[in-house]
A and B are shown apart, each in its own frame.
Chain A
Amino acid sequence: MLFSTLPQLRWAGCVAALGLLSGCELLEFSPNAYNGSKEQSNLTAKNLARMATNPLRAGDTLRFVFTGDSQRFYDHAEKLVESVNQQSGLSFMVVAGDISDFGLAREMRWVDDRLSKLDIPYLTVIGNHDQVGNGREAYQHVFGPLNYSFVYGDTKFTLIDTNSREYNFNGRIPDIGWLQQQTRSLDGAKRQVVLCHVPPLDGDFDPKLTEPYAKALEVAPKLTFALNGHTHSFGVSEPFDDGVTYISSYSFQKNQYVILTVWNDANDQPKFRLKTIAF
């Protein structure tokens, strides 16, 4: 079996770590606790650092994998990784939230055990399931910030927590002010992409913020598309008739993922091509 050697190594590590209890996942204090291997923490920063060592030349088109909702689909994760590793010209993969099903750190690490077998780095945005119990804290420990942005090649990515129901619709999630600030400037990029988990017309998105969210995207310069997960079904639409394309990801369980290719045309306007791959 592909992963049979890893747990055994970890067991040996656990025996060695008996004196340093907090470093060992086997010696679990609570499923809601997140103490564990240092290697499986701050994964967002680590994957961004990996991407920085493999930059895209200015003017190059960008190809990346778009998927979501890995929650409890570990068998599928293995097959997805095999399939993605057979593709060429990819820069990274994004997972549109719901990494875990129960908001437990161990689940997030189980997903990383599999996705770290990808030849390319992967990045995540937080989903509603990742916030159950102490999941939000676990996510921040294992992956990193709930809202973040980065520029890779000519594309700026803004990833934002839109799981309003997990905050009981407190009116502050998604953080519209932060989104406006991020999308206003391209930070030297030539186009931008926004990625979240819950899409703006979903019942789990704060209805008071749907309009300001959509407006922020409408006025965002050079926005190629807005990406989301949560629905577990792939779809491309323009729900607000405002020129903004929203793309919803397959879940891992659907045995399909999307490859997105983005570039700018002769008029410097963002263009994309979309390819679905079955595995």
Chain B
Amino acid sequence: MRGLLSLFWLSAAVPALGQSAAPDSVAHPWYRLHHVALQTAGGAGVVSGGVGFVAVRDRLETDILVGYVPEKLAGSALSIATAKVLYSPYTVPLGQKFQLRPLTIGMYLSYTHGTINDEEPFQYTKGYYWFSTDTRVGLLLGGRLSYLAPRAANPGRTRRISAYYELGTNDLYLASYVPNIKGMNFTEILTLGLGLKMDL
């Protein structure tokens, strides 16, 4: 946690490093769809897919994903809607064709539909369980490698195709870890998501 926070402050204080975002994305208005994404795991489903928006010179992204977990892996089929806000302060060019974003920090909010024991009316007294079964919030830390593919219609411009990873954790795992810092290892509460993004 402390490491994650200090990374955040560090990245906020050093905003100018590696300023080489794709030029075509600079003029992109925040409300226009910017990319599509496909992910596995990371608490968003066996497979999840969706769209994303960018702002703040391509550094701030909002991704909306819808994912699925089959009954075989959870006891009931789950549909998961996830919204992520991601901040990637650095873009490092790797030759003409590749780009590295070594650091992405973010938060997510997810809602799971389809859980089995999901509070019927009058089942519990108020505040019986203090936590939500279906709504999760979490933190993310990741990175990505992008390939700059020339666009067929306009060879002067490129389209990024990126592979990313995201280490994360959620509110319930943090609520488990924080009172047990001595007895738990931080790695125990981590999750990993892997995905692909492609600029539109």
Residues of A within 8 A of B (CB): 1, 3-4, 7-8, 11, 14, 21-22, 26-35, 72-78, 101-104, 106-107, 110, 113-114, 129, 131-138, 140-141, 165-166, 168
Least distance between B84 CB and chain A CB atoms (Å): 15
Interchain CB contact under 8 A, A34 and B117? no
Residues of B within 8 A of A (CB): 40-46, 67, 69, 73-76, 78, 80, 112, 115-118, 120, 122-124, 129, 131, 133-134, 136, 170, 172-173, 175-176, 179-180, 182-185, 187-188, 190-194
Interchain CB contact under 8 A, B180 and A72? yes
- Return the 9 tightest CB-CB contacts between A and B, nearest first: A137-B75, A75-B183, A27-B41, A74-B180, A7-B187, A33-B74, A28-B191, A133-B133, A133-B115
For A136, the chain B residues whose CB sits under 8 A away are: 75, 116-117
Least distance between A194 CB and chain B CB atoms (Å): 24
Please give me the residue from chain A that is nearest to B167 by CB atom.
A26
Interchain CB contact under 8 A, B185 and A29? no
Known contacts A27-B194, A30-B80, A137-B74; decide if A106 and B173 are in contact (CB<8 Å). Answer: yes
For B179, the chain A residues whose CB sits under 8 A away are: 72, 75
Give Cα A136 to B118, complex, Å: 12
Interchain CB contact under 8 A, B117 and A30? no
Which residue of B41, B78, B117 has the most chain A CB atoms within 10 A of its CB atom? B117
A and B contact pairs by CB, cutoff 8 A, 18 listed: A7-B185, A21-B41, A27-B40, A27-B41, A27-B192, A28-B192, A32-B69, A32-B74, A35-B73, A72-B175, A72-B176, A72-B179, A101-B172, A101-B176, A106-B173, A133-B134, A134-B117, A137-B75
Least distance between B125 CB and chain A CB atoms (Å): 8
Q: Tell which of A26, A35, A101, A132 touches B192, judged by Cβ atoms closer than 8 Å.
A: A26
Give Cα A28 to B138, complex, Å: 13
Please give me the residue from chain A that is nearest to B175 by CB atom.
A72
Interchain CB contact under 8 A, A34 and B41? no
Least distance between B178 CB and chain A CB atoms (Å): 10
Give Cα A26 to B190, complex, Å: 6
Give Cα A192 to B67, complex, Å: 48
For B194, the chain A residues whose CB sits under 8 A away are: 27
Known contacts A72-B175, A74-B180; decide if A135 and B185 are in contact (CB<8 Å). Answer: no
Interchain CB contact under 8 A, B170 and A31? yes
Q: Tell which of B74, B172, B192 touches A134, judged by Cβ atoms closer than 8 Å.
A: B74
Please give me the residue from chain A that is nearest to B122 by CB atom.
A168
Q: Tell which of A7, A14, A30, A101 touches B74, judged by Cβ atoms closer than 8 Å.
A: A30
For B188, the chain A residues whose CB sits under 8 A away are: 7, 110, 113
For B187, the chain A residues whose CB sits under 8 A away are: 7-8, 11
Give Cα A52 to B100, complex, Å: 56
Interchain CB contact under 8 A, B184 and A74? yes
Known: A27-B194, A28-B41, A129-B129. 11 other contacts (CB 8 A): A21-B41, A30-B44, A32-B78, A72-B176, A75-B179, A75-B183, A102-B131, A102-B133, A102-B172, A137-B75, A166-B117
